[in-house]
Amino acid sequence: MQLVVEPEVTAARAVVALESTLVAHGLPWPDNLAVARELEDTVRAFGGTPATIAIVDGAVRIGLGGDALVRLARDGSQHAKAGATDLAVHLARKTSAATTVSATAMLAAQAGIRVFATGGIGGVHRGDADDVSHDLVALARTPIVVVSAGAKAILDLPRTLEMLETLGVLVIGYRTNEFPAFYSPRSGLMLEHRAESAQELADIVYQHWQVLGSTAGVLVCNPIPDEAAIDVDDSITRALEDATLAGITGKRLTPFLLARLADVTAGGSIRANRALALNNARVAAEIAVAIAADRA
């Protein structure tokens, strides 16, 4: 598989991967382009180099230079949403697709990128323990640090955390003892491990991969800032009821629930999502810089 890597990314040492699903499907135009650029600018401001990843006309793009990012944002509805298991289809058919957490993690690792910032990972769906996002499997198989505000709040968080442990994913709270609940820094679910700095995290992943030889990922749980947190428990209940009435399940469920949350919170969930994504980009850049310094 050929990777088309932007020159800025090729020349960099502290690279942070960014997913493209948020850009193509997470926000309306032109807000999505503004947030995409803000994420990239945040990574640069903290010493890293951003690499937004997508499939463009059948090519894996590691970094979207020129008008590629604009095209992705403007024509997002025309781009499929591709997980890791969907990539071969788009490569063979030379179509375009936005990458989810699982696809972004896999492609980033193949490009030699070791840090990835996202909003929240997928997990076990509420009410159906058999409906498990491939994000968790991809994390278990991919040597990459994923910085996330926990798992999406619409999920079954206790079962998601349990599944991460079962799959052998190292989960570390960044300056927190709790598994974040995406829109809230607190879930009541306690974590085994906590780190206080990017350097400490860099030291841990060195031991995890280089010394112990693990090929599994590391999930860094970075809570949403307190001032950006919102209470969405009642809104999630309403959205789940709406999904049940509409008969929506499977891959369509998460996009439906997130859209309904945006409606019932009058856009509050979107503002919170932006804040936590930017916070994750900052921490990811700091980790990438610390890892690069250790390699020097």
Q: Which residues does the annotation mark as catalytic? A: 19, 152
CA nearest 9: which of 46, 52, 71? 52
Is the separation of the CB atoms in 35 and 274 below 8 Å? Answer: yes
Alpha-carbon span 65 to 280, nearest angstrom: 22
Torsion of CA 99, 110, 171, 182, to 10 degrees: -20
Is the separation of the CB atoms in 89 and 71 below 8 Å? Answer: no
| Side chain identity, residue 244 | T
* Helices within the chain (DSSP H only): 7-10, 21, 31-45, 68-74, 87-93, 101-110, 134-141, 157-167, 198-206, 233-246, 253-264, 268-295
